């Protein structure tokens, strides 16, 4: 896909608008958690997480996404929004403050499904809320984002992490329609809650309630998400379906190949662990550095 073929948007964040569609943007992942599936415990202190986020920005990331709780398969995430909220906030708020205090122009996203954390994170300097549940796990989330007037990423999620292994399979030809319709419903809910359309981006939720072959079907049909007429963010980084090996290097290589396909299908933002590799992949696919 050439730069001119991708839909263009001015995505409204908390304090600024982000132009999307000229070239794909890269979101760097900063997990301030002890148990995330790929890098849990590596950036568990404020100092380490801030330093890592700044390094990702120096490596070329257009924004960084700060997460304080793992939503890998089998966790209790989403079952009780009040549970461990204070711990999540303790992990992420000082990191956000440290990043924007050191790099005032940095674009920071908060990866949370809790409205209380979203509010505090935006007040600390986050420009957007990246909710993996699309506003389903905390009934207060969408109204809170509307009140905050920040950017919002609405993800498609099928059930809770504790339920994913027991869910019935999805037929290959039904995966994309299911995701498109699910996202359409969550976007409608966001609009009804008062979130302006120009503040919304969507994420198909690779791995979130979808098995290996279902993720491949979703990637193959990703172009159909353009019918939603909204910015598209994809998070394929190091997902298990990409490669049987748990090696970060192996999964990063597979990630960049999958991201290249997603970019050609119209993705505006790729969310990754390996920012340097993503920059090279995006450059080879559709980006001027």
Tokens of 255: 């990630």
Helix (H) or strand (E) holding 80: none
Query: Are residues 201 and 230 in contact, defined by beta-carbon separation less than 8 angstroms?
Result: yes
Single out the catalytic residue among 6, 239, 251, 287: 239
Number of domains the chain is built from? 1
* DSSP SS3 for 21: coil
Tokens of 61: 């990331």
Q: State which residues of the chain have pLDDT below 50.
A: 1-4, 35-37, 39-40, 288-289
Q: Inter-axis angle of helices 141-148 and 172-192, to 10 degrees? A: 60
Query: Can 223 be counted among the known catalytic residues?
Result: no
Give the Å distances, CA to CA, from 81 to 77, 85, 88, 167, 261.
Answer: 8, 7, 11, 22, 35
CATH number, residue 223: 3.20.20.20
What's the pLDDT score for residue 165?
85
Query: Are residues 151 and 203 in contact, defined by beta-carbon separation less than 8 angstroms?
Result: no
Query: Can 114 be counted among the known catalytic residues?
Result: no
Q: How many CB atoms lie within 10 A of CB 274?
A: 23
Q: 79 is in which domain, residue-wise?
A: 3-286
Query: Are residues 146 and 115 in contact, defined by beta-carbon separation less than 8 angstroms?
Result: no
**Whole-structure pTM value:** 0.92
């Amino acid at each position: 896909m050439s730069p001119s073929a991708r839909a263009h948007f001015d995505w409204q964040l908390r304090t600024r608008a982000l132009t999307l569609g000229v070239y794909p943007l890269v979101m760097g992942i900063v997990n301030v958690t002890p148990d995330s599936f790929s890098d849990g415990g590596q950036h568990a202190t404020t100092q380490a997480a801030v330093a890592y986020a700044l390094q990702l920005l120096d490596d070329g990331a257009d924004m960084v996404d700060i997460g304080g709780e793992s939503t890998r398969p089998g966790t209790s995430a989403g079952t009780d929004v009040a549970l461990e909220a204070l711990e999540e906030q303790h992990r992420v708020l000082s990191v956000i403050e440290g990043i924007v205090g050191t790099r005032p122009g940095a674009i920071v996203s908060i990866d949370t499904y809790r409205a209380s954390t979203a509010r505090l994170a935006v007040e600390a300097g986050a420009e957007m809320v990246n909710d993996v549940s699309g506003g389903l796990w905390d009934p207060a989330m969408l109204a809170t984002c509307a009140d905050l007037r920040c950017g919002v990423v609405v993800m498609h999620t099928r059930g809770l992490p504790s339920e994913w292994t027991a869910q019935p399979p999805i037929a290959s030809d039904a995966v994309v329609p299911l995701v498109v319709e699910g996202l359409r419903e969550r976007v409608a809910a966001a609009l009804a809650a008062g979130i302006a359309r120009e503040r919304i981006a969507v994420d198909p939720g690779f791995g979130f309630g979808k098995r290996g072959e279902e993720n491949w079907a979703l990637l193959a049909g990703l172009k159909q998400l353009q019918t939603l007429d909204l910015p598209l963010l994809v998070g394929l980084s190091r997902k298990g379906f990409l490669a049987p090996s748990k090696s970060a290097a192996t999964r990063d290589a597979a990630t960049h190949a999958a991201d290249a396909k997603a970019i050609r299908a119209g993705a505006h933002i790729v969310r990754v662990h390996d920012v340097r590799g993503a920059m090279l992949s995006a450059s080879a696919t559709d980006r001027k550095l």
